[in-house]
Each structure stands twice: as C-alpha cells, then as structure tokens.
C-alpha cells in the first residue's frame, strides 16, 4: 500500500539502535519492575487493565492513527463514535464504573458522554428524591436522556453565589421559570452540552415571591428527544475551540423564560412547598462538602499518573537520543553520549520521576482518609443516636473533624499536585528538545487536555485561601489550648514548644528529620500569617500571596510525609525486594531534598535548616541522588506500566524505535503530504494537485 521508495524503506537509524540502548538500560538495573508495579497498583488492577486494553484494541473505532492529524470537527465526531462504542462495550462486558474509567484512561481523550456519566448521573442520584429518580435518573441511566451539569456562566465561575440565571417560582401553575437576564448569564464551558446533551441539570438562583434563595439544581430538557433540535426559548451550542479538550463539546445555554414543572427542582435536601410557596431549608451541607473532597482527592490520585506519562516518554527518549561527546572524555571512539547522561537533563527529569511516586502515594493516602472519614461520619451518626445513652460529646466529633481537615488538605493538595503535574509535563516535553514539539511526541496534546485541571474544581490559587483559613483556625485553637490531636495541631504545637530552643534537623542523614523540617516551615509560616492577620490586622487581600506560600508549604509537607510513611509501613518489606526498596528510598530523598532546595529561602528564614545544609543539599546530596537513581530511571518508569497504545508516542515507545516511528507517521500518515502546491507568489492557485496515491492518509 505504501508508496515509500524501496531505498527509503531500507534505511535504519545510525547505530546503536534505540532498541539496543533501552535493552541495555533495563539490563543494568537490578530493580524489580514486577514487584514495584504490583506495589503501586496491585496485580488485580494490572490484569484488569490488560483485559480491557485487548477489548479496545480489537475495535476499529479506537484506532488512534489519525488523532494527531484530524481537525476539531472530525475529532469530535470520532470521539462521539467512540463514546457510543464504549457504552455498547460497557453493556456487552458488564463493565463496572471502574472498568469504564480504566477504558477511558487507555483511550486518553475526553468524550462527549463525559459529563453525562459523571456529574449528571451523580447529581440526579445524590440530590434527587425517589420520585425524581424514577422520572429522570432511570431514563438517564439508560441513555434515553443524555445530560450535563450546567453551573458555570460566561460571567461567573469560582463565585457560584454570583450566578445570574434565575428560576422563579410561579405559585399559580406550580412551575419555575428559567431565565437568563444578561448575556453574562449564559451557561458556559458546560461539558457535553454543546452538541450532545438533550438534558441538563441547571444551577439557577431560586426566587420565591421576589426573594432570592441562592443557587439550586433544576432538571431541564434542552433538546427534542427525536429531532435533537433546541426546544423553544432555549439557545444552545458549542463554545468553540480550546487549547485542548477539543473532543469534548463544551457548550453555552441561554433561557428565554422557559417554564419547567415543580418536580424539576432536585428536592432531596431543599425545595419549595408548592402548597404554601415557602422554601424548605437544607438540613446539612456536609454531604456536598464530601463530594468536593472526593473529586479533589481523585485529582491528587491521578496527578502522579498524569505526570508519569510525560516522564516515561521523556526518559525513554533521552536514553535513546545521543548528542555530543562527554566534554572530559576526548576519545572519539567513545561515540556520542546519551542525553540522559547529562546532569542538566537528569536534574530536570529525575525529580519529576520522584514526584510521580510521591503524588501517587499521597493520592492513595488521601483516598484512604476519605474512606475512613465517610465511615467515621456514618458511625458518628450512630453515636449521635447513642448520645441519649450516655456517650460524651468529645467523642462525638472525630468524623467531622477529620472531614474538615480532609477538606482543607484536599484543597491544598489538589492545587499543588495538579500544578506539579501540568508544569512537569511541559518540562518533560522541553527535555525532549526539538522532537518534543512534534505532536508525535505524545506530550503536547496530553498536556493541553490536562491543563484545565489547574482551573476547575477550584482554581489552584483560589483554593490556597481555604488551606490558609484552616491553618489559621488550627493555630488559634492551639494557642488557646483548645486544639484537637490531629497532625496539624501536633506540628503547630511542636513548633511552639521548640521555638525557643530552635530546630536541629539533620536533613542529610535522617529521613524523619526531612519530614520534620517541612513541618517546621509550615508551622513557622502559619504563625507568621496569624500574626499578620490577628495582631497586625492586615487585610485578607494583602495576605493572599502569603496564604498561597503557606498552602504550598503545607501541601509539600503532606506529600513528603505521605511518601515517608509508605516507606515506613511494615508491609513494604514483604512486598518489595531489598534492591527496589533502596532505590525507592533514594527516590523519596530526591523528591524531598530537591523540593527543599527549590524553596530554600523559606527553610532558612524559618530556621528549619542552616544555609550550610542547603549548600550541601544543592552541591552534594541532590547530585549524588541523581547519580544513584540514573541507572534505574528506565525501569522506574516501566513500573508505571503504560502500554504503547495508551501513550501513543513515537518518543516514548517501550522498544526504543523512536526514529522509525516518527518517520512512519510523518511520511505515511500525514494528510498534508497529499497536497501538491503551486509555490509561486504570482500564481493565485494554492493547490496544484491532490496526490491520492502517495500517502495512505485521508484528506
């Protein structure tokens, strides 16, 4: 089929081949990939993913070879076809929700059913009454209603209370009127709404008798179930191309006085009494609180894997790419050096490799804590019921305490983890040099699709205020002797106890002292911020930069602590062999010490470490750790177990055949090569001829 000339087909890259180089990398490390992979994910999860991968690869619609070439309209159409097929496979193979998520991970593109399967169904389930479940959830679960979650507006995102869409109660006919009073009231960024959804949960300001009651969720049909055309009074469409996420039809939506029945206000927690036209208040907001925490914890858990894709690609490629000879080695016979052997490349990539593990362990710990908090909450409900039987009040609050701790923790970690992942992907891309800029590298589109994570579910800068508020509150409690006994209170108290004698953290010899140094810095910054706010009475606005630094410090402490605790767990000795464990300890130290030296000034000024310690960290410890980890770099990324099909990257191929793959994609799949142009400026003709035989691709 290919018309590539024979002499081109016969060419091979100059030696050594990429495959030989990666084989050598794998041979020289004694690390056990198998053990490490199972430790990270469990054997069950790895097997399940393998099974799903096989199913997907057998379906033509999931063929990825045109993804990097197609324009937006084609990509959207393909994405919708894939979403449909996924739903068919879900039924056929009786997939669980987790199976479906794994399949999406492997496909690695947002699909037009994305918001239906997550927020639409979840909101109907969690906030609907049994009657509403019957009316809306059942047809939605069967994909008769395809829905979305319409909250953000053109003029309002972070400030949900400022939403402008109104839902006015009409007592006379027991309906609500949905209305968009301004252009800025238009719903905007609503995933799955642009072209796909026929239903939406619309967050609108409830108005009863002229009085506003804040945003509430309303179910609203937006398109005809047969013609798929917008209903009367509704103006809906796609908001246009974006930096990434172009397989998703994010939409806009305007209402011109659209009436919906009383039953369309999701009424499990609050509502309107249709007989009296009075508002029914919600009992507690803690469940919604919990959902947000869960969503953010998921982002933390995913961040390690998100970053690991880019790091896998960059490390494999920099082990294959050779450029220049080592400057101190003058023997020409030596050949060119693998790019990964340069310390400047190691310094950019290996701390990111360390971060992938640090974030993964932190995400798992967060998820565990979330499960515990949910269990506690349920038990707590039970205890509250027991209270009449003599159980004291102090035991009655562990669940909610943990939950508010977890809420703040998840805010700070979501911000830190998604920033590390997004920025790390770009560092990984640039470490691939010129070829990193090619779509075939597989990093830029993944990066562009991931970027919104820094903004949604709480803007990464906005969220840091939540963490600061929590830490200030904890510090006030510690100072007034009313604190509980959680970790935050402990590190704040330790700082107060020790601040007159000073800290002596032996960060270069003792791992637990590294953790203590991070804790010390957090505590120092907390009490500094508290002084500014409570003593010096500075305005909240003037302290936002301090709060951001404080949140970052606290979240870095948590990541370091979580990684450390995994290494201290008793089970780890059974699951990992000694060689692997030693490397993982080095990975921990690299993450922690590299973070510490990057934030050096806060560690000095808080007195957590000395200037000399920082200098030694920078000049010796980090460089030695790079040297220690370098031989295991390829196996460490192998342990993430990304199939080539998932990475879809020329540079990140497991077998190291990067140049063959780049060349194949460029020369045989690239539709631009079908155009024979007229190159002369005086001729207005642009395309002279379409060459349909030269390339396999479609135009």
Q: Is 617 in the site for its own copies (CB under 8 A)?
A: no
Nearer to its own copies, 184 or 578 (CB): 184
| Token pair recorded at residue 642 | 């990304």
> In a 10 Å sphere around its CB, with 0-12 CB exposed, 13-18 middle and 19+ buried, how is residue 562 labelled?
buried
User: Can you tell me which residue has the tokens 């009657």?
Assistant: 131
Q: Is 2 in the site for its own copies (CB under 8 A)?
A: no
**Residue 172: active-site member:** no
> In a 10 Å sphere around its CB, with 0-12 CB exposed, 13-18 middle and 19+ buried, how is residue 617 labelled?
buried
Nearer to its own copies, 181 or 214 (CB): 181
Q: How far is the CB of 324 from its own copies (least distance, A)?
A: 5
> Which residues, in sequence order, are bridge partners of residue 692?
none
- Residues 449-468, one symbol each (x = binds its own copies by CB under 8 A, - = not), give --xx-xxx--x-x-------
Q: How far is CA 347 from CA 13, 449, 623, 640, 678, in A?
A: 28, 26, 8, 21, 47
In the region spanning residues 245 to 304, those forming contacts with its own copies, defined by CB under 8 A, are: 245, 249, 252, 254, 256
Measure the CA angle with vertex 298, ends 293 and 302; round to 5°. 150
Stretch that binds its own copies, among 367-375, 392-400, 475-483, 598-606 (CB under 8 A): 598-606
In the region spanning residues 4 to 23, those forming contacts with its own copies, defined by CB under 8 A, are: 4-5, 7-8, 11-14
Cα gap 507→592, rounded to integer Å: 10
DSSP for 4-67 reads --HHHHT--PSSSPHHHHHHHHHHS----HHHHHHHHH-HHHHHHHHHHHHHHHT-GGG--TTT
Stretch that binds its own copies, among 123-131, 208-216, 259-267, 443-451 (CB under 8 A): 443-451
Stretch that binds its own copies, among 43-51, 373-381, 493-501, 685-693 (CB under 8 A): 685-693
Q: Is 379 in the site for its own copies (CB under 8 A)?
A: no
Q: How far is the CB of 97 from its own copies (least distance, A)?
A: 16
Q: How far is CA 429 from CA 248, 309, 385, 426, 652, in A?
A: 24, 11, 56, 5, 11
What's the longest Cα–Cα distance across the chain? 95
| Token pair recorded at residue 85 | 């097929």
Q: How far is the CB of 213 from its own copies (least distance, A)?
A: 16
Cα gap 501→170, rounded to integer Å: 68
Q: Is 679 in the site for its own copies (CB under 8 A)?
A: yes
Stretch that binds its own copies, among 125-133, 303-311, 399-407, 686-694 (CB under 8 A): 686-694
Distance between start and end Cα atoms, the chain: 17
Q: Is 76 in the site for its own copies (CB under 8 A)?
A: yes
Cα gap 264→316, rounded to integer Å: 53
- Residues 135-154, one symbol each (x = binds its own copies by CB under 8 A, - = not), give --------xx-x-----x-x
Annotated ligand binding at 233? The verdict is: no
| Token pair recorded at residue 281 | 């208040």
Stretch that binds its own copies, among 180-188, 352-360, 408-416, 506-514 (CB under 8 A): 180-188
Which residue among 57, 131, 615, 644 contacts its own copies (CB under 8 A)?
615
Give the number of residues written for the chain.
Answer: 699
Q: Is 102 in the site for its own copies (CB under 8 A)?
A: no
Nearer to its own copies, 171 or 240 (CB): 240
In the region spanning residues 533 to 592, those forming contacts with its own copies, defined by CB under 8 A, are: 539-546, 548
Nearer to its own copies, 212 or 282 (CB): 212
Cα gap 666→4, rounded to integer Å: 12
Nearer to its own copies, 35 or 439 (CB): 439
Q: How far is the CB of 377 from its own copies (least distance, A)?
A: 29
* Contact in structure between 199 and 219 (CB atoms under 8 Å): yes
> Which residues, in sequence order, are bridge partners of residue 169?
176
Q: How far is the CB of 631 from its own copies (least distance, A)?
A: 16
Q: Is 434 in the site for its own copies (CB under 8 A)?
A: yes
Q: How far is the CB of 471 from its own copies (least distance, A)?
A: 16
In the region spanning residues 469 to 498, those forming contacts with its own copies, defined by CB under 8 A, are: none
* Contact in structure between 186 and 179 (CB atoms under 8 Å): no
Q: Is 165 in the site for its own copies (CB under 8 A)?
A: no
Q: How far is the CB of 95 from its own copies (least distance, A)?
A: 13
Which residue among 32, 83, 104, 362 contacts its own copies (CB under 8 A)?
83
Cα gap 304→557, rounded to integer Å: 17
Spatial CB neighbours of 546, under 8 Å, sequence gap ≥ 6? 468, 525, 528, 529, 532
Stretch that binds its own copies, among 178-186, 206-214, 559-567, 632-640 (CB under 8 A): 178-186
In the region spanning residues 314 to 333, those forming contacts with its own copies, defined by CB under 8 A, are: 322-324, 326-328
Q: Is 690 in the site for its own copies (CB under 8 A)?
A: no
* Contact in structure between 423 and 390 (CB atoms under 8 Å): no
Nearer to its own copies, 197 or 421 (CB): 197
In the region spanning residues 12 to 71, those forming contacts with its own copies, defined by CB under 8 A, are: 12-14, 68-71
Q: Is 531 in the site for its own copies (CB under 8 A)?
A: no
Annotated ligand binding at 152? The verdict is: yes
* Contact in structure between 259 and 176 (CB atoms under 8 Å): yes
Cα gap 121→36, rounded to integer Å: 36
Catalytic residue among 25, 109, 164, 457: 457
In the region spanning residues 334 to 363, those forming contacts with its own copies, defined by CB under 8 A, are: 336, 341-345, 347-348
Helix axes 622-629, 578-598, angle to 10 degrees: 150
- In this structure, are strands 278-280 and 234-238 parallel, antiparallel, or unpaired? unpaired
Q: How far is the CB of 549 from its own copies (least distance, A)?
A: 9
* Contact in structure between 544 and 465 (CB atoms under 8 Å): yes
In the region spanning residues 183 to 242, those forming contacts with its own copies, defined by CB under 8 A, are: 183-186, 188-189, 194-198, 227-229, 235, 237-242
> In a 10 Å sphere around its CB, with 0-12 CB exposed, 13-18 middle and 19+ buried, how is residue 342 labelled?
middle
| Token pair recorded at residue 319 | 């082990």
Stretch that binds its own copies, among 1-9, 391-399, 552-560, 579-587 (CB under 8 A): 1-9
Q: How far is the CB of 290 from its own copies (least distance, A)?
A: 24
With CB under 8 A, what is the number of residues at the site for its own copies? 146
Annotated binding site for FAD: 152, 191
Annotated binding site: 152, 191
Would you please indicate which residues are annotated as catalytic (active-site) residues? Answer: 457
């Amino acid at each position: 089929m290919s018309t590539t000339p024979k002499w081109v087909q016969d060419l091979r890259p100059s030696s050594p081949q990429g495959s030989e180089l990666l084989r050598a990398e794998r041979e020289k490390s004694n690390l056990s990939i198998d053990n490490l992979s199972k430790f990270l994910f469990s054997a069950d999860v790895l097997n399940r993913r393998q099974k799903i991968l096989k199913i997907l690869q057998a379906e033509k619609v999931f063929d990825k070879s045109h993804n990097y070439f197609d324009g937006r309209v084609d990509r959207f159409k393909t994405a919708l076809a894939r979403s449909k097929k996924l739903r068919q496979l879900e039924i056929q193979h009786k997939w669980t929700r987790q199976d479906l998520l794994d399949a999406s991970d492997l496909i690695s593109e947002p699909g037009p059913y994305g918001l239906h399967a997550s927020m639409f169904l979840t909101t109907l389930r969690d906030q609907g009454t049994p009657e509403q479940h019957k009316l809306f959830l059942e047809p939605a679960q069967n994909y008769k209603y395809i829905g979305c979650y319409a909250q953000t507006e053109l003029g309002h995102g972070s400030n949900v209370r400022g939403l402008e869409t109104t839902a006015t109660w009409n007592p006379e006919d027991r309906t609500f009127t949905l209305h968009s009073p301004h252009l800025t009231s238009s719903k905007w960024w609503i995933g799955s709404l642009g072209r796909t959804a026929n239903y939406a949960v619309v967050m609108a300001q409830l108005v009863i008798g002229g009085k506003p009651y804040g945003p509430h969720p309303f179910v609203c049909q937006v398109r005809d179930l047969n013609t798929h055309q917008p209903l009367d009074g509704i103006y809906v469409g796609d908001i246009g191309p974006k930096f990434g996420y172009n397989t998703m039809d994010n939409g806009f939506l305007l209402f011109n006085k659209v009436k919906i029945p009383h039953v369309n206000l999701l009424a499990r927690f609050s509502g309107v009494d249709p007989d009296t036209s009075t508002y029914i208040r919600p009992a507690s907001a803690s469940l919604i609180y919990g959902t947000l925490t869960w969503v953010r914890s998921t982002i933390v858990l995913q961040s390690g894997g998100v970053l690991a894709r880019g790091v896998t690609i960059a490390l494999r490629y920099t082990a294959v790419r050779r450029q220049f000879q080592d400057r101190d080695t003058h023997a020409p016979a030596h050949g060119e050096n693998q790019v990964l052997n340069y310390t400047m490349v190691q310094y950019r990539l290996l701390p990111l490799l360390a971060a992938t593990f640090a974030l993964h362990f932190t995400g798992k710990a967060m998820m565990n804590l979330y499960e515990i908090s949910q269990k506690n909450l349920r038990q707590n409900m039970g205890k509250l019921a027991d209270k009449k039987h003599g159980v004291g009040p102090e035991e009655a609050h562990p669940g909610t305490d943990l939950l508010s701790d977890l809420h703040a923790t998840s805010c700070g970690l979501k911000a830190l983890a998604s920033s590390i992942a997004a920025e790390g992907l770009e560092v990984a891309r640039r470490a691939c040099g010129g070829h990193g800029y090619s779509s075939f590298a597989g990093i830029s589109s993944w990066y562009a699709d991931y970027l919104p994570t820094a903004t949604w579910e709480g803007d990464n800068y906005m969220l840091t205020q939540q963490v600061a508020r929590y830490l200030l509150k904890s510090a006030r409690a510690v100072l007034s002797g009313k604190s509980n006994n959680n970790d935050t209170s402990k590190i704040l108290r330790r700082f107060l106890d020790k601040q007159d004698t000073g800290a002596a953290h032996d960060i270069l010899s003792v791992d637990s002292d590294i953790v203590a140094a991070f804790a010390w810095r957090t505590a120092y910054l907390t009490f500094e911020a508290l002084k500014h706010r409570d003593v010096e009475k500075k305005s909240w606005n003037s302290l936002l930069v301090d709060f951001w630094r404080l949140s970052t410090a606290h979240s870095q402490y948590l990541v370091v602590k979580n990684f450390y605790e995994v290494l201290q767990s008793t089970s780890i000795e059974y699951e990992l062999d000694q060689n692997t464990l030693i490397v993982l300890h080095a990975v921990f130290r690299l993450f922690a010490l590299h973070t510490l030296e990057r934030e050096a000034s806060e560690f000095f000024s808080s007195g957590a470490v000395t200037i000399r310690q920082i200098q030694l960290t920078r000049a010796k410890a980090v460089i030695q750790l790079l040297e220690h980890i370098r031989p295991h770099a390829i196996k460490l990324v192998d342990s993430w177990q990304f199939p080539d099909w998932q990475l879809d990257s020329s540079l990140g191929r497991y077998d190291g055949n990067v140049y063959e793959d780049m060349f194949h994609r460029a020369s045989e799949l690239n539709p631009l090569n079908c155009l024979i142009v007229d190159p002369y400026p005086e001729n207005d003709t642009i395309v002279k001829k379409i060459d349909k035989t030269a390339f396999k691709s479609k135009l």
